[in-house]
Structure formats: C-alpha cells, structure tokens
Chain A
Amino acid sequence: MKVNKQIGNFVTRNVRVALMLAMLFPALTFAQNGKLVLSFENTFGAEPLAFDKEYTNAHGENLRFTLLNYFISNIKLTRTDGSVYAVPQDSCYFLVRHSVPETHKIELTVPEGKYSSLTFLIGVDSLRSTQGPEKRQGVLDVGAGARGMYWQWNSGYIFFKMEGKSKSLPDSTRNGFYYHIGGYGGFDSKTLNCIRYRTLTFEKLKVSEKKTAQVNVTFDASKFFSAQTPIKVTEKRSIMGGPVSVKIADNYKDIFSLSGVIYSRMKK
C-alpha cells in the first residue's frame, strides 16, 4: 500500500514535470535560427575604397586613405510585428578594419522571421566602457583585438578612426590627416558623448534556416567630408577628441546606408 502510494506520488510528480516540459517545448523546438550576414562595404563615391588610390573630395582636396576602422556593436533587429531581437550582449562587439577584409562581414545567428529594421551602435556602449578587463574580450581586448582603438589615458575606445594623406596639405605637416572619434559620455561626470546609433529600414528581411540573408551596408567615405558639418582636411586635419568630434559622429552616423539584401542557399 505504502509502495503504491510512493509510486503514485512519483507518477503525479512526473506528470507535472512532463506537463511543464510540454508547455516549454514548443518554444524550444519551433524557434529555429537562421544565418544573417551584415556586410560592410567601404566606398568612395561609387567605387570600392582602396588604400592605394587617390581621391578628390567635394572641396577639391586630394585624398589617399591609410586607415579606416570602426566599431559596430549592440545590434538589434526589429520584426515586422514590432518586437525586437537583440544580439546577446557578450557577443555583440565587432570591429571593422578596412585593411582586414574578413572583418567586413559580421555573421550573426538570428531567430527565423521577418524583420523590418536593423539598428547598431557605431562604437562601444558606456556600460562596457566602464567594466573590467574580463568583460573586454575579442575586439575589446585592450592588449590585442582593440589595438590602436583605445585611449588609455581616457579609458575609452576610439569608435571611429580614419587617417590618410593629402597632397593638398603642406609637406611640413607630412601631408597627414587624422580623425579619431570616441567618447562614451563619462563615468563620474559628463564627458564627450559620441555614442551614435544608426537604424536602417528594409522593405522586408526574411531570416530562415534554409537561406543565408546578407544585408549590405555601405559606408561612402566621400560623404564624410561633405555631410552636415563639412570637413576640409586643409582646415581640420586632426580631430582627436574635442567638442567638434560629436559633430563628426553625427556626420559619419548618417553615412552608413543600406544598399541591398541578398539571399543565398545554405550549403549542405
């Protein structure tokens, strides 16, 4: 009798567990993931940007680029129903280095579904900028992945870095121009805030298990000099911090634009 009761208890307990599992499982089994690639293409006007080419900006100034790097982080996708998928925080930091082609493509695993917009931060958020080194792995590692993209005297990442040479500049300046933009807004008091989010909207982006979706994002470097705050290298060849950098952040934010979505079948 006692044994029977125990068995009975065992059964009821397990039925309860099974029911709970059954309630949870649909969510687990039917939420499939698909692959989404964000492809960043740096251009100058209509041409792909090349470090060995010379260009002319809207002010008639000669330009040749030697460096173009920017952080992309805090990626969020908004579904057509308005709900949002955010890439998990610890894996949402990327650094696009123009000189390293593999970094131009960001591969994400995203729940299947229809999406209407993509939002990302050009830079690194303030929380991460104040956390310890255990939270600064990969491209955020100040002794490895983030090299050249960190101000050690000001504890902050350089969000965006563009450097080059211009024959329009006198030889005495070694013809160099340098734009280093960063500033996460401050820790114990307000500092420069160059945190800028960019949202790109699609007609429709479909993420599914069967096909890889690639969103092409173009960064047209020619627009950097002729955006809302025009920049002439002959007037401002070096911007590293300082109040004008927030205007530069506004400039480059709007330059990131959607150039298309392409789908390819997953290779078996």
Chain B
Amino acid sequence: MRLKVILSGSVLGVIALMAFDFHVFNRPVELKLPSNFPEPVYDFKTNPLTEAGIQLGKELFYDGKLSRTGVVSCGFCHQQPSAFTHHGHEVSHGVDDRLGKRNSLPISNLIWMKTFFWDGGVNHLDFVPLNPMENPLEMDETLENVLKKLNESEHYRAAFRQAFGVDEIKSTEFLKALSQFTATLISANSRYDKYVRNEGAQLTAQELNGLALFKSKCSSCHATDLFTDGSYRNNGITSDFRFDKGREEVTSDVTDRGKFKVPSLRNVEYTDPYMHDGRLTSLEEVLNHYSDGVKISETLDPLLLKDGRPGIALTESEKADIITFLKTLTDKEFLADKRFSEY
C-alpha cells in the first residue's frame, strides 16, 4: 500500500514536472488605467499582457542588439529621467554618431495614441520599433537580422518561450514583446492628476491661474488629460520647410506641409529640447514663441492667426503662470519607477 502511494506520488510528481512549462507560470497582468483618461486605443486582446512579456519587452528595449552596431538601444534615445526622450539632443542620435532630422519624442501613455511619430506615419503601436530600428540614421538594422541575433541567443529563446510559448522568435512575438513593455509606460501620477482625481493634492493659486489660462489658450490642441488631441498642425515654428515637410511627407498632400503631431505635455519640464527639430531649449522660449515668434506660412494653424495677427496673446505674468502649471504635469513616480529602469 505504502509502495503504491509512493509510486503514484512519484508518477504525479513526474507529470507535474512535465507540466512545468514556464508558459503556464506566466501570470497575466492587468494595467491600472487612470480614471481621468479616456479608453485606450491599443487592443490588448491581440496582445494580453503578462509578467514575462513585460519583462522581456523591457530587456529588448534596453538591448543594443536591436541596432547594427550593438550599442544603440531604444533606451539610448529614450531615457527615463527625461521622460524617455534624449535630453540635450535636438535631433535623434543614431549609430556611428549619425544624426536624424527630428527630436526624439518622449514615451508615455502610448496605448492612448492612434498614430505615432511627429508625422503620424505609423498607425499601430506594435510597428513603432521598426521605424527607428531600420532607419539608417538611427539603429540602421533590419528586423530580419535582429530576429536572427535573438534566435541565436539561448537566453532570448527561453525568454520568448516563457512569454509567448514559441520556440522560434518571429516578428509577431518580437514586436508584441516590445509593446508589452511600452504599454506599461503610463504617466498619470503627477500633482495635476492627483488634484483632478481628488487624491489629496492641492495646486497653488498661481498654478490654478496657470491651469485656467492653459484651458483657455492652449487646450484646444493640447486637449484632454493626455494633453494632445493627436492632430497635426503647423505651429509656426518655422516657415522654411525645405528640409522637413512634416506630415506632407506621409500624405503627399501640400496642405499638410509643415504640420507635425501635437505632442503630449506630460513631464514637459524634463523633455527639453522642444519642437520637432529641438530648436527651443526652455519652456520660457516655448511660451515666447507662441506669444511673439509664430511665423506665418500658408499652412499655419488658423488658431494661431487671429485677426491677421500671428500667435497667442499672452502677458509675461500669464506665461509665468502657465509654466508653473505645466510643471505640475511632472510625474516623479514615473521618472523614477524601478519597473521601467534600465538598471
């Protein structure tokens, strides 16, 4: 009898060991979505988040293997302390010190975005990594070759097996792994958020005045608590489009000349330099641009041309108040969250 128990016990044990497929132990993750945000755009049904998937995505995000030289990772131009942009770099800095033509965008709240990049050329979060990876001025690699490198790595093969239950790493799992990590980069715990969600935070009189001014003068483009309406507009930063036609490069429509995606303003205190070409270095310069520096061209946004006068009417003290308000969008938890950090 005892032998029987031992036997059946060990049989069960063997079965349990055989069933010790890592995939089974990969726990699903449900993102906490901020109550002051709209419904996400990203369809998680096509890519259910898991602990192993997010961890793998993070590892890929910080791995130079994704570039031709093995040095330039996603995290190279998207650094957490700068809200995942490249502090101090006007335009993206790629392999062999090559320079792109646009300012690398900060990364946060991507699952609420319909299109990506300054010109909106990419229509799906999963396909975002392909753009910098294959751009000769950025990572100068091919997805095909990255997959080859990853498949040669025992470590990555095991990690993909655990996260997705696959033996061979293909485009689908690779792209979805990166989305799993970038989907978790949610910034929604700034002082402003805690104020609008009645979580105990207060704004000062100056910040509140800045918020009121922001709502009346800025929020038609920097709309909702995502602080962008996702549209493309010419904000008059230049009237010379010889080297960058903006959205027109995607649509081939001359009425899109010089239009760029309205960026979110979350963590804007830390995302300098500003504008698509990184030409402005401080928030003061940005506000001065909108009050006095708007350049007229055929596609200038009508909101920036009232009664033939370019720009937005702003006094010096109003600008100061708006900047004070913008700094309440700084999300210290996000900038230091260990779950997102390289080390």
A: which residues have CB within 8 A of B?
A: 129-134, 136-137, 141-144, 147, 152-155, 183, 186-192, 241-243, 245
Contacts and interface: CB of A to CB of B under 8 A. Distances in A.
Interface string B226-252: 000010100000000000000001111
B124 A132 contact: yes
Contacts of B176: 132-134
B189 interface: no
Contacts, number: 90
A144 B171 contact: yes
B114 A132 contact: no
B170 interface: yes
A245 B253 CA distance: 13
B251 A143 contact: no
B251 A155 contact: no
Given A147-B144, A187-B115, A130 B123 contact: yes
A69 to B, nearest CB: 16
Contacts of A183: 252
Nearest to A187: B123
Nearest to A145: B171
Contacts of B143: 142-143
A142 B123 contact: no
A83 to B, nearest CB: 33
Nearest to B43: A132
A77 to B, nearest CB: 30
Contacts of B170: 141, 143-144
A143 B114 CA distance: 23
A155 B121 contact: yes
Contacts of B171: 133, 136, 141-144
A187 B119 CA distance: 13
B126 interface: yes
A147 B147 CA distance: 13
B22 to A, nearest CB: 21
A133 B147 CA distance: 14
Contact of A142 (B121, B130, B230, B251): B130
A188 B120 contact: yes
B63 interface: no
Interface string B104-144: 00000000001101001111101100110111000000111
